[in-house]
A and B are shown apart, each in its own frame.
Chain A
Amino acid sequence: MSQTITTTDRKPKPRPDVIGGHTLSMHVNNQPGVLMRICQVFARRAYNIDSLVVSQGRDPRFSRLTLGISGDPAGLDQIIKQCHKLIDVIHCTEHTPGDAVVRDMVLIKIQVTNAERRTEVLQILEHFGGKTVDLAETSMIARIEGDSEKVDAAIRLLSNYDIIETVRTGKVVMARGELGT
């Protein structure tokens, strides 16, 4: 049996042009079009959104957004203010790993055609505290969760195997201690 692996996931290339890796958290009105307004603030200023998590808040009138962005660091302060200026944005704050807990999760589908490789993959998963969430004859899906660096590291190690595809949630953050996010 021959199987063609179709995947858009490639090994990551280093990107020296990108500065940053900033995380913004926003509390916004839960209404159609709000995301469009926010995305335009970034696009107009040539910022890329690397990750984006949106979900309804505890109070369903509001949503929580966590954005991972990269771009010119000198413009970040301006971006935050421009987001804050949107009528639909209740607040917008930048978080660093020092003041906030960051969590990211990846689902990773790997081709494993023999028992030996499967064992190796499982060992790596164990090291990262990952879980197998689907196991088929020639493939498996694993789940790895942690801060973004940990998830990056796991994907890097697993890249020695035949990865069929990966899906990442993007990071979510929560401020530590008494601070609000």
Chain B
Amino acid sequence: MAKKQELDGAQALIKTLDELGVEYIFGYSGGAALPIFDALETVKTNIKFILTRHEQGATHMADGYARATGKPAVVLVTSGPGAGNTITGIMTAQMDSIPMIIITGQQVTWMLGKDAFQEADIFGITIPVVKHNYLVRNTNDLPRITREAYHIATTGRPGPVLIDVPKNVSQSPFTGDLDAEIDLPGYHPEEAFDIDEDSIEQAARLIAMSKRPVILAGHGAMIAGAEKELMHLATTIGCPVTNTLLGKGVFPETHDLSLGMLGMHGTAYANKAMCECDLIINIGSRFDDRIIGQADKFGANAKIIHIDIDPAEMNKMIRPDVQIVGDAKAALKLINKQISPLDTGEWLAKIDGYKKKFPLNYKKQGGLRMQQVLDELFEVTDGKAIVTTDVGQHQMWAAQFYRNDESWKWISSGGAGTMGFGFPAAIGAQFACPDDIVVAVVGDGGFQMTLCELATAVLAKLPVIILVLNNHYLGMVRQWQELFFDNRESGVDLDGNPDFAKLAEAYGATGLTVKRPADVRKRLEEAMELRKNGPVLINAECIKTENVFPMIPAGAALEDMLIEPPKYKMEKPVGST
């Protein structure tokens, strides 16, 4: 009797991914992953495979795709070094709660632990940087494990899940059930929607008593899709809203009630509001050290409500007065039933005073500044672009000057602070949103870590704009050396940078250069036009020694914020890195 369907494990795997609705696989082939790559050719599927130029690029592309859509993409690489090269990208996703599925090829099971060619214990290596991971031992387990991985990655607090697939497992005949159900007795994301009513009532009481409330909106509010509920809460009680780096866009930053980003390089008025408020309503932020500074002084005179889907975030950095464990949208819906307008006129007037007194600004004379480029980018793109960044000065200025009014349009490595993230993330975002303007705002340092992906972008004719804010320095580190290490520069001079515009041309992209402040707008508009032909790189030659302010030295209290360059010698920060 002939079998109805003859599949191998790899084909069962691809079929399952297809059924789950996976749209893109970013990856790099290799020996141990051969059967899986072959299955991409033999299985009828809508999944598109994108060959990157480095495995790290593949992870950041999947990350950018997820941050633009909320949906996971898949990373497919081979064993050993292929798998090893994904670690930075997996860690980046884990730190920022980004759903991702990473499939790694592996040596055959009987060679595991015998130092076989390209064998690496990627299961063991990645345990600390994944939400969960698997080493598959039986071919017939592949559909169930793939479904579990997808479920774990996308529910609760999202995160990356890795599946290590030995070659004999992917190559052997599949005789199991393609529809095998998930079996996760220790995982209950549905509990996030069963919110403790008492905590809601306590929160409502604190809100009713507050005269100077502040809402702190984080990534969790965005993941939960709580934009409407957040707006309702803020406008009903008349409460200013500050957002974290990853929360950019969940509350429109151009709204009158918005304070923009808070924290180490947040706006002065956001940080002042945090210092002077009597109630902090944290919606889906994990109280990162970059926003709280010195933990024991944070919100010392305020009551704190903490809404988070992850119970482990409660009391981790800050002890809140009210803990609400659960989905931010579900929690806000309940809170919103119990609120009424507050008399916050005086408080809002005070904050308006701060906004007028300490606006974000920059000098327009004396050379090209990154702030100006970003300010004009905001205007040229009408604030509608998807902006990705690397890490450093340009990232903070982009966060300050590119105000986001919508969720899912700001893509930046927050927790991990991964250089080299911005450009591949922009590629992933552009694949996800082909009709959007996608701009990778990168520094000359970070861009050189993953610029090989120019080939990937050119090949796909992606209309992505790469804005290299080039100061020939690792600017943020240099800033710290200037402020805290007597201006002794060590390991920060990027002498030897290539001509980035020519480099782009060499890859077949368009390369532009801008040096004079007066030419910025023209170049940006040119790029907007030229991107129709494929990637456009703008090399913006910026002045070398500009510093980012406001600044709260690491581990210092929010009230110790520097609004402008200090006139005295600074102590070395000890509280955090």
B185: contacting residue among A33, A36, A86, A90, CB under 8 A: A90
Give A76 Cβ to nearest chain B Cβ, in Å: 11
Give every chain B residue within 8 A of A81 (Cβ-Cβ).
Answer: 311-312, 314
For the complex, what is the distance from the CA of A80 to the CA of B184, rounded to whole Å?
19
For the complex, what is the distance from the CA of A28 to the CA of B184, rounded to whole Å?
11
For the complex, what is the distance from the CA of A89 to the CA of B80, rounded to whole Å?
28
Interface flag for A44 (CB, 8 Å): yes
Give every chain B residue within 8 A of A62 (Cβ-Cβ).
Answer: 185
For the complex, what is the distance from the CA of A44 to the CA of B129, rounded to whole Å?
12
A36:B124 contact, CB within 8 angstroms: yes
A87:B312 contact, CB within 8 angstroms: no
Contacts A33-B124, A87-B152: A28 and B186 contacting too (C-beta < 8 A)?
A: yes
Give A88 Cβ to nearest chain B Cβ, in Å: 6
Give A93 Cβ to nearest chain B Cβ, in Å: 14
B270-313 interface bits toward A, Cβ cutoff 8 Å, 1 = contact, 0 = none: 00000000000000000000000000000000000000001110
Nearest B-chain residue to A61, judged by Cβ: B185
Interface flag for B128 (CB, 8 Å): yes
For the complex, what is the distance from the CA of A22 to the CA of B186, rounded to whole Å?
23
B186:A40 contact, CB within 8 angstroms: no
For the complex, what is the distance from the CA of A37 to the CA of B123, rounded to whole Å?
10
Interface flag for B409 (CB, 8 Å): no
A87:B127 contact, CB within 8 angstroms: no
Interface flag for B255 (CB, 8 Å): no
Contacts A33-B123, A36-B124, A89-B186: A78 and B315 contacting too (C-beta < 8 A)?
A: yes
B186:A29 contact, CB within 8 angstroms: yes
For the complex, what is the distance from the CA of A28 to the CA of B310, rounded to whole Å?
20
Give every chain A residue within 8 A of B187 (Cβ-Cβ).
Answer: 87
A77:B315 contact, CB within 8 angstroms: yes
Contacts A29-B186, A33-B124, A36-B124: A87 and B131 contacting too (C-beta < 8 A)?
A: yes
A78:B316 contact, CB within 8 angstroms: yes
B127:A36 contact, CB within 8 angstroms: yes
If A81-B311, A90-B185 are given as contacts, then 15 extra A-B residue pairs at C-beta distance below 8 Å, sorted by A number, are: A28-B186, A32-B135, A33-B127, A36-B124, A40-B128, A44-B128, A62-B185, A77-B315, A78-B312, A84-B311, A84-B312, A85-B310, A85-B312, A87-B187, A89-B186
Nearest B-chain residue to A77, judged by Cβ: B315
A64-84 interface bits toward B, Cβ cutoff 8 Å, 1 = contact, 0 = none: 000000000000011001101
B312:A82 contact, CB within 8 angstroms: yes
Give every chain B residue within 8 A of A36 (Cβ-Cβ).
Answer: 124, 127
Interface flag for B54 (CB, 8 Å): no
For the complex, what is the distance from the CA of A84 to the CA of B79, rounded to whole Å?
30
3 cross-chain pairs, A with B, having the tightest CB-CB distances, nearest first:
A81-B312, A87-B132, A90-B186
Give every chain A residue within 8 A of B124 (Cβ-Cβ).
Answer: 33, 36
Contacts A33-B124, A33-B135, A44-B128: A88 and B186 contacting too (C-beta < 8 A)?
A: yes
Give every chain A residue within 8 A of B127 (Cβ-Cβ).
Answer: 33, 36-37, 40
For the complex, what is the distance from the CA of A28 to the CA of B127, rounded to whole Å?
16
25 pairs, A vs B, C-beta closer than 8 Å: A28-B186, A29-B185, A32-B135, A33-B123, A33-B124, A36-B124, A36-B127, A40-B127, A40-B128, A77-B315, A78-B312, A78-B315, A78-B316, A81-B311, A81-B312, A84-B312, A85-B310, A85-B312, A86-B186, A87-B131, A87-B152, A87-B184, A87-B187, A88-B186, A89-B186
Give every chain B residue within 8 A of A28 (Cβ-Cβ).
Answer: 186
Give A119 Cβ to nearest chain B Cβ, in Å: 51
For the complex, what is the distance from the CA of A108 to the CA of B127, rounded to whole Å?
37
A-B contact count (CB 8 A): 41
For the complex, what is the distance from the CA of A28 to the CA of B185, rounded to whole Å?
9
Nearest B-chain residue to A80, judged by Cβ: B312
For the complex, what is the distance from the CA of A178 to the CA of B131, rounded to whole Å?
34
Q: What is the interface of chain A, defined by CB distance below 8 A to chain B?
A: 28-29, 32-33, 36-37, 40, 44, 62, 77-78, 81-82, 84-91
Give every chain A residue within 8 A of B184 (Cβ-Cβ).
Answer: 87
Give every chain B residue within 8 A of A78 (Cβ-Cβ).
Answer: 312, 315-316
Nearest A-chain residue to B134, judged by Cβ: A33
Give every chain B residue within 8 A of A86 (Cβ-Cβ).
Answer: 186
For the complex, what is the distance from the CA of A36 to the CA of B46, rounded to whole Å?
38
Give every chain B residue within 8 A of A88 (Cβ-Cβ).
Answer: 132, 186
For the complex, what is the distance from the CA of A77 to the CA of B311, rounded to whole Å?
11
For the complex, what is the distance from the CA of A90 to the CA of B310, rounded to whole Å?
16
Give B158 Cβ to nearest chain A Cβ, in Å: 13
Give every chain B residue within 8 A of A84 (Cβ-Cβ).
Answer: 311-312
- The interface centre, meaning the residue of A29, A40, A62, A81 with most chain B CB atoms within 10 A of its CB, is A81
B186:A87 contact, CB within 8 angstroms: yes
Give every chain A residue within 8 A of B315 (Cβ-Cβ).
Answer: 77-78
In chain B, residues 481-534, which have Cβ atoms closer than 8 Å to a Cβ of chain A?
none
Nearest B-chain residue to A41, judged by Cβ: B128
Give B141 Cβ to nearest chain A Cβ, in Å: 11
For the complex, what is the distance from the CA of A83 to the CA of B312, rounded to whole Å?
9
Nearest B-chain residue to A81, judged by Cβ: B312
Nearest A-chain residue to B311, judged by Cβ: A81
For the complex, what is the distance from the CA of A36 to the CA of B132, rounded to whole Å?
12
B180-221 interface bits toward A, Cβ cutoff 8 Å, 1 = contact, 0 = none: 000011110000000000000000000000000000000000
For the complex, what is the distance from the CA of A78 to the CA of B286, rounded to whole Å?
14
Give every chain A residue within 8 A of B186 (Cβ-Cβ).
Answer: 28-29, 86-91
Give every chain A residue within 8 A of B311 (Cβ-Cβ).
Answer: 81, 84-85
Give every chain B residue within 8 A of A89 (Cβ-Cβ).
Answer: 186
Nearest B-chain residue to A82, judged by Cβ: B312
Give every chain B residue within 8 A of A40 (Cβ-Cβ).
Answer: 127-128
For the complex, what is the distance from the CA of A62 to the CA of B184, rounded to whole Å?
12
Give A74 Cβ to nearest chain B Cβ, in Å: 9
Give every chain B residue within 8 A of A91 (Cβ-Cβ).
Answer: 186
Give every chain A residue within 8 A of B131 (Cβ-Cβ).
Answer: 87
In chain B, residues 359-410, which have Cβ atoms closer than 8 Å to a Cβ of chain A?
none
- The interface centre, meaning the residue of B124, B127, B152, B314 with most chain A CB atoms within 10 A of its CB, is B127
